[in-house]
Amino acid sequence: MAANHPFDRLDELCRKTRSAVCVGLDPHDALMPPDTRGRGLLLQVRDYLHDVLDAIADVVPCVKPQIAFFEALGPDGYTLYFEIVRAAHRRGLFVVGDIKRGDIGTTAAGYAKGHLGPDDGSAVDAVTLNPYLGVDGIKPFLEVGRAKGRGVFVLARTSNPSGKEIQDVGAAGAGVEQSEGALYRRVGALLEQWGAACRGARGYSDVGAVVGATHPDEGALLRRELPHTWFLVPGYGAQGGTAADVARTFDAQGGGAIVNSSRAIVFAWKEQEKSGGAARCAELARAAAIATTEAIRAAVAARKVAK
C-alpha cells in the first residue's frame, strides 16, 4: 500500500462532501456567459472558472479541466490550464487532468513529468490516458505518479457512440452476454494487473478506469470484474446517461466511482436561459452541482436497497 494514495484522498473527499460528482471544467467559448466587461475571451474564461471554483468547492470533491479547451485559447490558454489546476488545489479539490495522452518511451515520460511531477500545485491528482500502446504508454505515468501520490484513469469503455468500433472488437455478438472477448474487457483486466502493486486503504489501486454512463450494462459488468479499480464515469446528463445508469458503476458500499458532469453544471445558466453576470451564473452552477449530487446519491441508495 502506498502512502498518500490518490484514490484514498478522493474517497475521503467524497465522504466529506457527501458527493460523487466531478465537475468538468470545459470552457467552451460558445457556452460562456455574456462578456459584460468586454475583457476578451481569455480573461472571461479565467474569471468565470475562478467564480465557478469558488461556488462549488464545498459541495463537490473533484473537478476535471479538459485541456483541449484551454489549448484552443492559445499559449496563454495553456498557461491558464495550470493556473486553474493550482486554484482548484487551493480550494481543496481533487483534480483530474483530462489530457488523454498515449505515447511511449521518453515522450510518455515527458508528459508524465509535466502533468504529475511538479510540486508547485500545478500537478493534477490523476490524468486520463489512452491504453492503445499498452503498458509502455502507462508505466512512465505510474512511475512518476507513485513517487508523488498521484494516479491515472485509463480509457476502458468510453461514452461516445463510435467507441464500440474498437472497444467491442472480439465480442461474439451483440449484447453484454456476448461480450466475453471484447477488447474493453481485456483493457479492464489489464488495469487490475497494472494497479495491483499500489492499492490504498480502501482497496482501490492507483489505476482507475474511464467507464461511460451511456453503457450501463457494460459499466455494471466492469464493476463486477474490476473490484480494485476506481471508475471515472463521463456521459451523465448532456450525453444521455441517467442517475440510475451511473449508480450501477458504484461498489456495494456506494463508493469507488466519481461521475463527471460538465455542461449541465458549468453552463447551467444556458439551460435555464438566465444571465445576470458571471457571479449569478456561478450560483446556478453550484445549484446544478448540488442537484446532480442529490440525484446520484438517491439512485445509489435505491440500488443498495434493491439488492
242-279 confidence digits (pLDDT tens): 999 999 999 999 999 999 999 999 999 887 655 555 56
Q: Quick check: 76 and 40 in contact, CB under 8 A?
A: no
Domain for residue 220, yes or no? yes
Tell me how far apart the terminal alpha carbons of the chain are, to the nearest angstrom. 31
Residue 304 annotated as catalytic: no
Confidence of residue 180 (pLDDT cuts 50, 70, 90): confident
Cα 232 to Cα 123, 178, 183, 209: the distances in Å are 19, 24, 19, 6
List the catalytic residue out of 100, 113, 139, 148.
100
Residue 187 in grid coordinates: 483493457
Domain for residue 181, yes or no? yes
119-158 confidence digits (pLDDT tens): 999 999 999 999 999 999 999 999 999 999 999 999 999 9
The residue assigned the cell 461521475 is 259
Residue 152 in grid coordinates: 491515472
b/e map 88-101, b = 16+ CB within 10 Å: bbeeebbbbbbbbb
Domain for residue 1, yes or no? no
Q: What is the CATH number of the domain that holds 198?
A: 3.20.20.70
Question: Nearest-CA neighbor of 264 among 230, 238, 284?
Answer: 238
Model pTM score:
0.94
Task: Name the domain count of the chain.
Answer: 1
Average pLDDT over the chain reads 92
What are the strands, taking DSSP E only, across 112-216?
A: 126-129, 151-157, 207-211
Q: Where are the alpha helices (DSSP H) in 196-277?
A: 216-225, 243-247, 263-266, 268-271
Domain for residue 247, yes or no? yes
Q: Quick check: 151 and 94 in contact, CB under 8 A?
A: no
Domain for residue 264, yes or no? yes
3-class SS at 157? Answer: strand
Residue ranges making up the domain that contains 163: 6-306
